[in-house]
Chain A
Amino acid sequence: MTEAVYAAKCTTCGAVSYAKHLICPKCRGEAFQPVAIKGEGTVLSYTDVYALAIDYDVRFLRLAIVELDGGLRVTGQLLDADPKLGKRVRTTVGVVRETGGKATHGLQFMPA
């Protein structure tokens, strides 16, 4: 997989954020560098959602918020048949949405 998903690291205070800000919410710094999101973490919460947005031809989507080792929190798709709060998962990158033939890559979580 050549695609990667990036968080932004504030070059002033080092805070890492998975959501773009032009001003750092922690220190007001204005310079950032991209850092690829990878590694393992734990499931903070998850849900099976049946009320789907357009673009999804599935019965439900399993979504999760994961707290990565190091503290960064991210939202993504949980590819785990037996989800549990606090369960260890590892991040991968895959196609998370396809709109009119155009694929969007994003974070997916597998059992660690």
Chain B
Amino acid sequence: MRPVYIVGAGMTRFGRSDFSLVDLAGTAGLAALHHAALSKVPVDAVVVANMGGSRINRQTALGSALVDRLALYPAAAEAVENGPASGASAAKIGFQAIGSGMADVVLVVGVEMMRAVDGLEGTDFVASLSHPEVEYIYGVTLPSLAGLFTRLYMDRYGVERKHLAMVAIKNHEHAMHNPYAHIHQPITMEGILTSPEAVVNNPPVADPLCLFDCCPVSDGAAAVVLASKEIADRLGGARVRIAGIGQATDTHAVHEREDPTELRAVRLASQKAFAMAEAKPGDVDVVELHDAFTILEIAESEAAGFFKRGEARKAIERGETRFGGHLPINVSGGLKARGHPVGATGVAQLVELVWQLRGEATGRQVEKAKVAYACNFGGFGNNVIATVLRKEER
């Protein structure tokens, strides 16, 4: 396997977009090519990550459409759909293409326009990833799977609503320093949990999860340019290598898991990624987790190996996962506040980490960051991709 580098990263501001799906993807792709100073170098392949275009935007074959929008012919092109883990899947395919020697430069773009439809249709579209015969028929939606998981996790591991609120407050605070974030709104413990108005401000969505435990519904696109060592050597700037990628799957129906509170696919994918990177969780300086719901930041940080089970809430209480803490998690704002255009998220995580490792995350730069980790969580934990990035000095 040849080493693979991320030589450029870019994204659109997440939120609500008036662009078309292809323009949104193209804007992020162009930003990443400019960042890489590669807009004049031939791109061998384009991989687009998208979950719902065929249903909610009535657009298919996004790889071909993006090649045309950016005039990258005759580059190879495809779109991949792997639920909310589509973004990291697309990056993995690019990684494999360069690692195998089939390509030298690959543009990976994640894109989603979820606000093209109303909330009900949007929720139902995401719910269609649940088990069709034993979950979806009951009215299961992603928030309900998260609510079921949260109640059990709280009961077993001493997580309280205040810990969930701490995650939300932290990620909203982080997003204040990220100009690309969907939500720029500081929130307080009083406002969302402890004051009499909190029940109005923060109504239940899938109890015990409330509004501020859930990511917003976002439009957005994010892109990275992957390149072989030969190409990376020709470019200036700090060099970021994809040191490891791991992927694992689990049962489709959550009730079939031996321990439904164990995110086994997160644990296995992370172990694989760390093994490939010849690194361990203790080496990591900056982390992006898939906090579509606040509980997931807590549970993933344990399953990935950063904390023992039941210990993450203590680290949160001590402020260790805040910017400036010993293990900053979701400095970008995470899915909670940067937003969650599902197909774009896995790529946006990599964009943030590339900026962090290159020292370009103005206003939220984690000092001396050298090793970074991302968890892109598909389904409700039934398809997970972990990625470890490493900064290489020239």
User: CB within 8 Å of B: which residues of A?
Assistant: 17-20, 25, 44-56, 60-61, 63-65, 73-77, 85, 96-97, 104, 106-107
Contact = CB atoms under 8 A, between A and B. Distances in A.
A76 B123 CA distance: 19
B147 A47 contact: yes
Nearest to A75: B255
A96 B137 contact: yes
B131 A63 contact: no
A101 B225 CA distance: 49
Nearest to B122: A51
Interface of B: 120-121, 123-124, 127, 131, 133-144, 147-152, 155, 203-209, 214, 251-256, 260
Contact of A47 (B124, B207, B256, B260): B207
If over half of A's interface residues share one DSSP class (helix, strand or loop), that class is named, otherwise mixed; here it is strand
B205 A50 contact: yes
A106 B143 contact: no
A65 B155 CA distance: 15
A64 to B, nearest CB: 8
Given A19-B134, A19-B251, A48-B207, A75 B143 contact: no
A49 B134 CA distance: 17
A49 to B, nearest CB: 4
A85 B155 contact: yes
Contacts of B252: 19
B148 to A, nearest CB: 4
Contacts of A76: 138
14 contacts: A25-B251, A25-B256, A49-B139, A49-B147, A50-B203, A51-B144, A63-B139, A63-B148, A65-B148, A65-B254, A65-B260, A73-B255, A75-B254, A75-B255
Contacts of B214: 51
A52 B149 contact: no
A19 B206 contact: no
B149 A45 contact: yes
B120 A54 contact: yes
Contact of B253 (A49, A61, A75, A104): A75
A47 B152 CA distance: 10
Contact of B141 (A20, A45, A53): A53
B137 A47 contact: no
Contact of A49 (B124, B155, B205, B255): B205
